[in-house]
Amino acid sequence: MIDYAFERVPTDAGSTADLATITLQRPGALNALDEQALRDLDAAYRRAEDDGARAVLLQGEGRAFCAGRDIAGVDPRTDDVPGYLNDLLAPLLQRIAAFPAPTFAAAQGACLGVGLGLLIATDVVYVADDAKIGSPFAALGAMLDSGGHAFLLERLGAHRSLDLIYSGHLLSGAEAVASGLFSQRMPGDELASRTRAAALAAASGPTAAFLESKRLLWRLRTERLGFWDALEAESRAQARLSGTEDYREGFAAFAEKRAPVFRGR
């Protein structure tokens, strides 16, 4: 159900792009995730970290990225909702968000519920024009979860968020990007190749510097740092980077008029 692949791709500059690709492989069920799938997905991200991946690409096989939780056979009278959301899903989303390298996702078709949560936790999300993104929970008598409320409020404001929640309207990939939810939209037949190319480019870049930016942006979102506090945090991060191999390599390559060879350290 969850496929993991790690590859070390040589670059023209002489470095490698160490990329982990994680694929949701249950296309017949639109890659809906049950409890075991969440455990396997968590294990895949742990394996990517252990392998030293310098970028991760998450994708779904078939016509959907992920239609959400697999509720086939779930009895609402006995369903352990806190166990599913708090003990399985939340730690997975936290692991993805804190992954120590750039993370990418390619999203097509249904991106709902848990599927939307996976995208929210990912650094960079490219969506196909045919993507369907939103909250279909009203039909179940349930509410949006997986971090969706905070995400929609941050990007769309309260009125637009509640309109989507009340109506159950699903945004297309083009609408989601135009609304500021995700990074880029593109035709479905270009999604896989373009997202992979972006992930490989990041994996061969100065990933230590990327990680500093990732951490700072997360602090800005969660701690609501003021401008001067953010400026001070930037300065401290830049000072840390000045002692890295990549920092010295970048300056040397500039002086020597050649492409830099970054190692992520």
Give residue-wise pLDDT tens across range 183-197. Answer: 999 999 999 999 999
Per-residue model confidence as pLDDT tens digits over 20-45? 999 999 999 999 999 999 999 999 99
User: Domain spans of the chain?
Assistant: 2-203, 207-256
The position carrying tokens 């929609």 is 152
pLDDT of residue 170: 93
Pairing of strands 171-172, 16-24: unpaired
Q: Specify the DSSP element, H or E, that contains 210.
A: helix 207-223
Q: Give yes or no for residue 112 having a pLDDT over 90.
A: yes
Phi-psi label, residue 262: left if phi above 0, alpha if psi -120 to 50, beta otherwise: beta
Per-residue model confidence as pLDDT tens digits over 41-86? 999 999 999 999 999 999 999 999 999 888 777 777 777 788 888 8
The answer to whether residues 245 and 207 touch, using CB atoms and an 8 Å cutoff, is no
Per-residue model confidence as pLDDT tens digits over 231-247? 999 999 999 999 999 89
The answer to whether residues 44 and 24 touch, using CB atoms and an 8 Å cutoff, is no
The answer to whether residues 115 and 106 touch, using CB atoms and an 8 Å cutoff, is no
List beta partners, residue 3: 23
Per-residue model confidence as pLDDT tens digits over 2-20? 999 999 988 876 778 899 9
Mean pLDDT (whole number) for 98-106: 97
The answer to whether residues 101 and 210 touch, using CB atoms and an 8 Å cutoff, is yes
Q: Give yes or no for residue 122 having a pLDDT over 80.
A: yes
CATH fold of 207-256: Lyase 2-enoyl-coa Hydratase; Chain  A, domain 2 (1.10.12)
The 110-112 sheet, strands edge to edge: 110-112, 132-134, 171-172
pLDDT of residue 11: 81
Nearest to 156 by CA among 174, 138, 176: 176
Per-residue model confidence as pLDDT tens digits over 123-175? 999 999 999 998 787 777 888 888 899 999 999 999 999 999 999 899 999 99
Two tokens at 252? 């040397």
Pairing of strands 132-134, 171-172: antiparallel
Domain 2-203 CATH superfamily: 2-enoyl-CoA Hydratase; Chain A, domain 1 (3.90.226.10)
